[in-house]
Structure 1
Amino acid sequence: MKAKAFWHNNKNTSEIKTEQLNFSNINQAVKMHTRYSSISIGTEKLVANGEIPLDLYTKMKVNYMGGGFDFPIKYGYSLVGETDDQRWAHVMHPHQDQIIVNDNDCYFFSQEDIDPVAATQFSNLETVINAIWTSKVKQTDIVLVCGTGSVGVLLAQTIKKYIGATVFVQEINPVKKEKLKHFGFDLCENNLEYDITFNVSANQKGLQYCIDHTVEEGKIIELSWYGNNPVLLQLGGNFHYKRLQIISSQVSSIPHEKKEVYSFLTRKQLVEHLLKTIDYKIFISNTILFDELPLYFDQIRKNKPNEDFITIVKY
């Protein structure tokens, strides 16, 4: 059985390659036809540009990844597919049109309960949940989400609809700012300070904005990952005077204080509940075809302005 998979050949080029699939290599093998996958632009851009720190090569590996971070590499981690007997599942898997995976790596869901397009956001919403747990945000908090890419906009929507806190968003792209107002979000006000700020901008200026606009003894939750790119911050102002906390949030493990209550499975079950009750599909503003992935990443490498919240791939 053959499949088409998306590979980065080096930091300048990507292509779709044909490869052979083998049932014998995988226990409890399930064959799936990919219907959609989601692009995590922040991380996948770092991978495509070869900006992964050498000492994180092992930790950054994802299920069914091909090659390595020194190229070539097959990378991606949010795919929705359908089995031959019409079961739908989310799988952490690179962009590929046919896959064979271990049954235990699949999170099966009902198409009647969750739109498969929205289900592409399972992985991003797990990141969102971890950030909410890390921050301990509560309904009475005034919150800022800085940066509205895929994780940022999902985070803002979840805090607003699930937690019930007051949410402001910070976005520099004028097109996205207008869309955010249409979705009912309040744009940040420079004279405000916030109880908790979340930086999801993947930009040091975004993190600095959070530092400069967080209340005394407030928390700044850093979700951005910079790879091997340095970050320059000005900490000589109010950072020490206000006793601010910069706290990392990352999806690959459950926060310690939640481990007795949640596992990776129950975290996914919480995501399923969110997908059933909150409209996230409205933020999927760009859909490209699988064959268009090489061109799309050519544009990403050239830093083409991104006016979309979430981009998914259709197969």
Structure 2
Amino acid sequence: MTNFQQHPQATAYWTVGQEKGELRSVDLAVPGPGEALVRTLFSGISKGTEMVVHKARVPECVAERMAAPHQEGSFPSPVKFGYLSVGVVEDGPAEWKGRTVFCLYPHQDRYIVPVDSLTLVPGDVPAARAVLTGTVETAVNALWEAGPRLGDRVAVIGAGMVGGMVATLLRTFPLQRLQLIDVDPAKRAFAEALGVEFSHPDDAAKDCDIVIHCSASQEGLERSLQLVGDEGDIIEMSWYADRKVTIPLGEDFHARRLSIRASQVGAVARARRHRRTSADRLELAVSLLRDPVFDTFLTGTSPFAELPDVVQQLADGRLDALCHVIEYPQNNT
């Protein structure tokens, strides 16, 4: 039994202006049929996308498409945005009570959602690690889009959160070659922790079957065109938001019949869309987190009360992180 009746409100993080966020009280209703009340344990900051929102850089033409599943408000602000939440079901259908779950929900200490929005976290996956489920899902979708084959030569450009996640999944594939590429030599230690070969862009091997681009930079995309082999595929995972990007399509792009395809997690990749649902994809993603190598991506923890300052520190570079974890107080029941 919960004390929900004595606590009809929750606290949530809202972006209320350009580079301005705050914690706000929000009203909670009583869970209805098929709904669950979740008490949050941890949430993760998806640095790339959430910094775009924090800096008010979501283009108006894609604002509706880029909305998170349980977002409130609208871009640029005020908006309640986020999608890496792990908690415990306190109220709802009997079979869900007490279960640890992942949900694509913003940063909020309690929330009510339909149970079909929840993904069960396996007992052997730590709750803090489970915040990575949404990013693993993004990487799974990209690999379904790319379709790597036995003996392929693959490059992943950009050793950040998404690029590192893609490389981590690919390291178990029977590839001939896999390189994680970044301009920052300090990323070599990160790649080694993942068990993946590291390379600076200038030294990277060419004639790749697939290049997966995750650096969100014009230079990285240009290098992708140079590293991919004839008639090869470039999978573009970067979101440039309102930035303009120029690439040299007037060089050998046309002559070598290269392909650039976008991968975005909002829809299941075409190669699996008729046989997998988004829920199937999430279940696969959380199951992959049994591997402790994913703890490498968890690079810091802060209490929920400090979230507005943490977001600003990430935005201005004072805090360097892959996935920064927000921990919620456990005496809020």
Structure 1 and Structure 2 fold alike (TM over 0.5) = yes
Q: Whole-Å Cα distance in 1 between the matches of residues 137 and 195 of structure 2? A: 23
Matches within 5 A, 1:213-292: 213-277=227-291, 279-292=293-306
Q: Whole-Å Cα distance in 1 between the matches of residues 263 and 322 of structure 2? A: 21
Select which of 103, 108, 116 maps to 1:91: 103
Q: CA RMSD in A?
A: 1.9
Q: Whole-Å Cα distance in 2 between the matches of residues 266 and 74 of structure 1? A: 26
- Does 1:146 pair with 2:152? no
Counterpart in 1 of 2:179? 168
Deviates more, 1:267-276 or 1:135-144: 267-276
Q: Whole-Å Cα distance in 2 between the matches of residues 257 and 155 of structure 1? A: 17
Cα deviations across residues 52-102 of structure 1 (Å, max 9, x unaligned)? 111222222223212110311110011000122421001111011111111
Counterpart in 1 of 2:5? none
Q: Secondary structure at the match of 1:132?
A: helix
Q: Whole-Å Cα distance in 1 between the matches of residues 204 and 50 of structure 2? A: 35
Asked if 2 retains the 8 angstrom alpha-carbon contact of 1:156 and 1:169, the reply is yes
**Matched letter for residue 70 of structure 2:** Y
Asked if 2 retains the 8 angstrom alpha-carbon contact of 1:284 and 1:312, the reply is yes
Select which of 284, 307, 312 maps to 2:325: 312
Cα deviations across residues 15-51 of structure 1 (Å, max 9, x unaligned)? 1112221226x65221111111121111111111111
Matches within 5 A, 1:189-208: 190=203, 192-193=205-206, 194-208=208-222
Cα deviations across residues 232-291 of structure 1 (Å, max 9, x unaligned)? 212233322322111111111122331232122222232233223563122212222222
Cα deviations across residues 127-175 of structure 1 (Å, max 9, x unaligned)? 11111011111231111111122211111000112x2323211122333
Matches within 5 A, 1:67-216: 67-84=73-90, 85-110=97-122, 112-161=123-172, 163-165=173-175, 166-188=177-199, 190=203, 192-193=205-206, 194-216=208-230
Cα deviation for residue 305 of structure 1 reads 6.7
TM-score normalised to the size of structure 1? 0.92
**Matched letter for residue 242 of structure 2:** N
- Does 1:31 pair with 2:42? no
Select which of 21, 24, 37 maps to 2:28: 21
Asked if 2 retains the 8 angstrom alpha-carbon contact of 1:8 and 1:74, the reply is yes
Identity of aligned residues (%): 28
TM-score normalised to the size of structure 2? 0.87
Cα deviation for residue 182 of structure 1 reads 4.0
Cα deviations across residues 174-215 of structure 1 (Å, max 9, x unaligned)? 333333234432112625112211111111111111111111
Question: Which structure 1 residue ranges, 4+ long, deviate > 6 Å from structure 2?
Answer: none
Deviates more, 1:255-264 or 1:240-249: 255-264
Q: Secondary structure at the match of 1:90?
A: strand
Counterpart in 1 of 2:331? none
- Does 1:40 pair with 2:40? no
Asked if 2 retains the 8 angstrom alpha-carbon contact of 1:153 and 1:309, the reply is no
Q: Whole-Å Cα distance in 1 between the matches of residues 36 and 134 of structure 2? A: 20
Q: Whole-Å Cα distance in 2 between the matches of residues 66 and 87 of structure 1? A: 26
Unaligned runs of 5+ in 2: 1-7, 91-96, 329-333
Q: Whole-Å Cα distance in 2 between the matches of residues 179 and 271 of structure 1? A: 21
Asked if 2 retains the 8 angstrom alpha-carbon contact of 1:149 and 1:310, the reply is no
> What is the count of residue pairs matched by the alignment?
311
